[in-house]
Amino acid sequence: MNYVIIGNSASGIAAVESIREIDKENKIILISDEPYLNYSRPLISYLLGKKITVDKINYREENFYKENKVDLILNKKAIKLDVERKTVTLSDKQKIFFDKLLISTGGSPIIPEIKGLHSNGVFTFTKLSDEQKIESYIKKNKVKNAVVIGGGLIGLKATEALIELKMKVTIIELANRILSSTFDKKASDIIKNSLEKIGCKIITENTVAEIKEKSGRVTEIVLKDKTKIKTDMVILAIGVRPNIELVKNTPIKTNRGVIVDKFMQTNIKDIYSAGDCCEPTIAIWPVAVKQGKIAGYNMAGLKKEFGGAVAKNSVELCGIPTISVGETCPTGEGFEILEYNSEEKNIYKKIIIKNNRIVGFIFVGDIEKAGIYTNLIKDKIDITGFKQHLLKEDFGLINLPKEYRKHLVTGMGIEI
Amino acid sequence: MKKIIIREEYCMGCRLCEIQCVVQHSKTKNILKVYKGKDIKPLPKIRVEQEGYISFALQCRHCQDAPCIEACITGAMYRDKKTGAVLCNEEKCVGCWMCIMVCPFGVIQRNIEGKKVASKCDLCTGEEIPACVKNCPNEAIILEDRK
């Protein structure tokens, strides 16, 4: 019995852990096309902004692979998958046989077609190698001005890091506001105002038409409306797409990502997929971990279902903590909105209710006890009896129906 | 593992547990220095919730299937192999607050004194009985061996 896992990030590592909960003996081979032991991708913005040092970027300790008896293959890419013979071929032609396979290849940045894209000084920002290239480019060229294309979470975390490095940053966003997929207008505006206060320029409803270079290095961008902006560097952060090259030309069904069932298995027996490369998924860290964990259990023979997920994001920007979960900008009928807004304290809270159930919320400035609301969404709890408490400062578990809070999570000794 | 069991029917809402938790996690562990002196007053990792006649003291439940560990992007949130406790390695924590977003009990807090880190119950690492349990005058929180 041989487990093979492709991908050394959230899902792959979670799968190792859940397989080893059940199966302590059989071989696990983990393949990564990166040269590093393992690291947390969301931390690259913290590294760029010098909030952490590179030794703090590891997600699991060095002895993780030894402790879990994992044969680690680094710096080699899985380039071919033969589902009949159950083999994976690596970039060095080595063939690896599997009994159970997990495809957790993650996502790749979407690269728009822009003239001049291949100039020096144009980067994506999802991997540690991206961060290292950016860091050395900034140092070598004494970069003062940067353009970030994309005002989503990755773009804004990159922006924040660059501002920490005393750079002047301009964000170019296609939508009419930043963070448009996770926030409503009010929440977006709070972050926008804070970014502008620290010298960041935000341009919305616009896009880059051309990147201009001089002796191979980026010097200027030209927007769709012909506006020109001088810059020393460009970061592309318009989104990620599932990495599914490996399964192309195999019988494994794909749509945008690799299609999986509730056990995280593809349409081919013994081949599983988890994280940003699969579908349905939401490309966020906790979902990748959960899916990897569920895939691992099933691979090791313990039947477990992935119960689905709601979109959720937590991110601190300009020192303002923010959490957004579920449906945050409802359109259509039947929604009720509870709102608290204190400009003085820089706090904004919005709870979206439908059919007496919370379906989403946005907290900006005060995120305390957000997890309680997340779980009310997840468990579809009728809030009629305690709705008046939801926005109170002392809202807590005590306001929830006793029979619910008593069995909020299962397990001996954790009930309340 | 040893778990703190909450018995809300015994809780009087006196909040001694909160005070003793603060003292236990302070530098000097001296109540006067913490409350009247110069010692930094840490956040209580246990909090009493009260509504009318009901009250109970609540801290991390050290869940078997801990959502905070799953959500943690840095690997800072981990389970202690010996005690089974869910702990936060504050050295690794970067304050992204994913744990706060998913904790169903709302018992993880932002500690923004100095480096921003997630603050939660550590079952008083190294102590045989956590300070809150030891000092509860009415056994409203007790320590029991549970699986």
Cross-strand pairs, B51: B54
Residues of B in contact with A67 (CB under 8 A): none
DSSP letter, residue A238: S
Contact criterion met (CB < 8 Å) for B100 and A312 = no
- Do B80 and B104 fall into the same domain? yes
- Asked whether the beta carbons of A160 and A194 are under 8 A apart, the reply is no
Is there a single domain that holds both residue B51 and residue B7? Answer: yes
CATH at residue B15:
3.30.70.20
Based on C-alpha coordinates, what's the Rg of chain A? 23
CB atoms within 10 A of CB A105: 30
- Which of A39, A54, A398, A406 is best to mutate for the B interface (most B CBs within 10 A)? A398
Domain containing B16: what range? 1-59+123-147
Task: Say which of A285, A289, A321 has its CB closest to residue B110.
Answer: A321
- Both B2 and B47 in one domain: the answer is yes
Tell me the shortest Cα–Cα distance from B2 to chain A, in angstroms. 9
Chain B partners within 8 Å of A61 (Cβ): 75
Let me know whether B34 and B74 are in one domain: no
Test mutation, B9, B68, B99, B105, chain A, max A CBs within 10 A? B105
Q: Over pLDDT 70: what percentage of chain B? A: 99
- Chain B residues with beta carbon closer than 8 angstroms to that of A364: none
Q: Quick one: closest CA in A to B7, which residue?
A: A416
Distance from the Cα of A43 to chain B's closest Cα (Å) equals 7
Taking CA A12 as the corner, what is the angle to CA A371 and CA B69, rounded to the nearest 5 degrees?
Answer: 25
Distance from CA of A216 to the nearest CA of B (A): 37
- CA of B2: which chain A residue's CA is closest? A413
pLDDT value at residue A414: 59
For B100, the closest of A58, A367, A414 (CB atoms) is A367
Size of interface A-B (CB pairs under 8 A): 133
Cα–Cα distance measured from residue A39 to residue A131, given in angstroms and rounded to the nearest whole number: 12
| Confidence bin at B145 (pLDDT 50/70/90) | confident
The mean pLDDT of chain B is: 93
**Residues of B with CB below 8 A from A381's CB?**
none
Using CB atoms, pick whichever of A316, A323, A413 lies closest to residue B95.
A316
Instruction: Report chain B residues whose CB lies below 8 A from the CB of A50.
Output: none
Contact state of A286 with B75 under an 8 Å Cβ cutoff: no
Check: CB of residue B48 under 8 Å from CB of residue B91.
no
Kindly report the pTM of this predicted structure. 0.95
Tell me the C-alpha to C-alpha distance, in Å, between residue A360 and each of A277, A398, B59.
25, 21, 26
Contact A88, A94 (CB under 8 A): no
Q: Do residues B72 and B113 both lie within one domain?
A: yes
Chain A partners within 8 Å of B54 (Cβ): 398
* For residues B124-146, average pLDDT: 94
Structure confidence at residue A403 (pLDDT): 81
Domain co-membership, B10 together with B44: yes
β A145-149/A233-236 pair status: parallel
CB contacts, 8 Å: A374 with chain B: 101-102, 104
Residue of A nearest to B53 (CA): A398
Number of domains in chain B: 2
* pLDDT tens sequence across B49-73: 998 888 999 999 999 889 999 999 9
User: How far apart are the two ends of chain A, measured CA to CA in Å?
Assistant: 42
With an 8 Å Cβ cutoff, are B50 and A414 in contact?
no
pLDDT the model gives residue A245: 97
Q: Go through the domains of chain A in sequence order and give each one's CATH number.
A: 2-42+59-107+242-299 (3.50.50.60), 122-238 (3.50.50.60), 312-405 (3.30.390.30)
Q: Which of A397, A408, A415 should one mutate to test binding to chain B, selecting the residue with the greatest count of B CBs within 10 A? A: A397
Q: Which helix (H) or strand (E) holds A358?
A: strand A357-364
Banded pLDDT at B19 (limits 50, 70, 90): very high
Which residue in chain A has the smallest CA separation from B144?
A413
For residue B93, is pLDDT > 70? yes
CB contact under 8 Å between A314 and B98, yes or no, is yes
CB-based contact B106 A397, cutoff 8 Å: yes
* Residue A260: closest CA among A247, A273, A277: A273
Q: Are B66 and B99 in contact (CB under 8 A)?
A: no
The confidence score (pLDDT) of residue A412 equals 54
Full pLDDT tens readout for chain A, 416 residues:
999 999 999 999 999 999 999 999 999 999 999 999 999 999 999 999 999 999 999 999 999 999 999 999 999 999 999 999 999 999 999 999 999 999 999 999 999 999 999 999 999 999 999 999 999 999 999 999 999 999 999 999 999 999 999 999 999 999 999 999 999 999 999 999 999 999 999 999 999 999 999 988 999 999 999 999 999 999 999 999 999 999 999 999 999 999 999 999 999 999 999 999 999 999 999 999 999 999 999 999 999 999 989 999 999 999 999 999 999 999 989 999 999 999 888 899 999 999 999 999 999 999 999 999 999 999 999 999 999 999 999 999 999 988 888 766 545 555 65
User: Which residue, among A184, A194, A125, has the nearest Cα to A154 in the 3D structure?
Assistant: A125
Question: Same domain for B54 and B4?
Answer: yes
The verdict on B7 and B55 lying in the same domain is: yes
Say yes or no for a CB contact (<8 Å) between B65 and A414.
Answer: no
The answer to whether the CB atoms of B3 and A413 lie below 8 A apart is: yes
Q: Are residues B53 and B72 in the same domain?
A: no
Nearest Cα of chain A lies from the Cα of B104 at a distance, in angstroms, of 5
Residues of A with Cβ-Cβ distance to B63 under 8 angstroms: 409, 411, 414
Q: What letter would DSSP give residue A360?
A: E
Q: Are residues B44 and B67 in the same domain?
A: no
Query: With 80 as the cut, is the pLDDT of residue B146 above it?
Result: no
Residue A9, Cα to own-chain centre: how many angstroms?
11
Of residues B112 and A405, which shows the higher confidence score? Answer: B112
B4 neighbourhood in chain A, CB within 8 Å: 413
A416/B56 CB distance under 8 A: yes
Q: Report the pLDDT value the prediction gives residue A416, as an integer from 0 to 100.
A: 59
Chain B residues with CB under 8 Å of A410 CB are: 64-65
Q: Based on the domain organization, do B79 and B35 belong to the same domain?
A: no
Q: Which residue of A has its CA nearest to B64?
A: A411
Measure the CA–CA gap between B114 and A214, rounded to whole angstroms. Answer: 44
Please answer whether residues A286 and B70 qualify as being in contact, where contact means their C-beta atoms are separated by less than 8 angstroms.
Answer: yes
Using the beta-carbon criterion (under 8 Å), do A408 and B104 form an inter-chain contact?
yes
B35 and B82 housed in the same domain: no
